[in-house]
Chains A and B, each alone.
Chain A
Amino acid sequence: GEDVEQSLFLSVREGDSSVINCTYTDSSSTYLYWYKQEPGAGLQLLTYIFSNMDMKQDQRLTVLLNKKDKHLSLRIADTQTGDSAIYFCAAGGRGANNLFFGTGTRLTVIP
């Protein structure tokens, strides 16, 4: 399987930008995802990027992929208190049971 690693915690002030980082080990991973989990809820797919892309922007979210370093990041611009949640990075390919999740980064937004 693949190892996907994230830092466990991140705190930012409301209005600042948040950057959540993720590294993975399998260079053949073709799909990379960011999920958001609010307290007591399931995981919600936020955004994804294919391995042939370097960047994807979707409103306040920017995903950067450095395929050489196997590094993925999620930038949230103008972070709001509603962005407080656990963010999971996931990497993998096609087929069943071929998606591997990081441990999640708990983002705390300070008012």
Chain B
Amino acid sequence: SQTIHQWPATLVQPVGSPLSLECTVEGTSNPNLYWYRQAAGRGLQLLFYSVGIGQISSEVPQNLSASRPQDRQFILSSKKLLLSDSGFYLCAWSDHRDNYGYTFGSGTRLTVV
């Protein structure tokens, strides 16, 4: 069966520090991968998605970047965090063959102080 892992679960970082959040998927090949951000009490904002290794599409201009160095690994990064980067970050995957819904990771709570 397929599983998605996301870590860390919680992170507190100072303004100006770098960021690296990792997401990995097991049990499937060539998944579509997504990074979402959820601000406190609000809906989901799609940040990046990827249909293959090295292929990244950005949905909104921002202080963050994403990379897909391996088929089932998706990384969200920043060189210098801003206070506004605080939020709940969710990774998700979907099957490239049929895309029946997304499966989400457990999320990372990022607080920039």
**A43-70 to B contact mask, C-beta < 8 Å, 1/0:** 1110010000000000000000000000
Cα–Cα distance between A31 and B46 once the two chains are bound (Å): 19
A-contacting residues of B (Cβ < 8 Å)?
6, 32, 34, 41-44, 46, 49, 51, 57, 90, 92, 94, 96, 98-107, 109
Cα–Cα distance between A35 and B44 once the two chains are bound (Å): 12
Q: How far is the CB of A15 from chain B (nearest CB, A)?
A: 27
Our pick among A33, A40, A44 for the contact of B109 (Cβ within 8 Å) is A40
In the complex the two chains form, is B99's CB within 8 Å of A95's CB? yes
Cα–Cα distance between A99 and B93 once the two chains are bound (Å): 12
Interface hub of A43, A90, A95 (most chain B Cβ within 10 A): A43
**Neighbouring B residues of A44 by C-beta, 8 Å:** 104
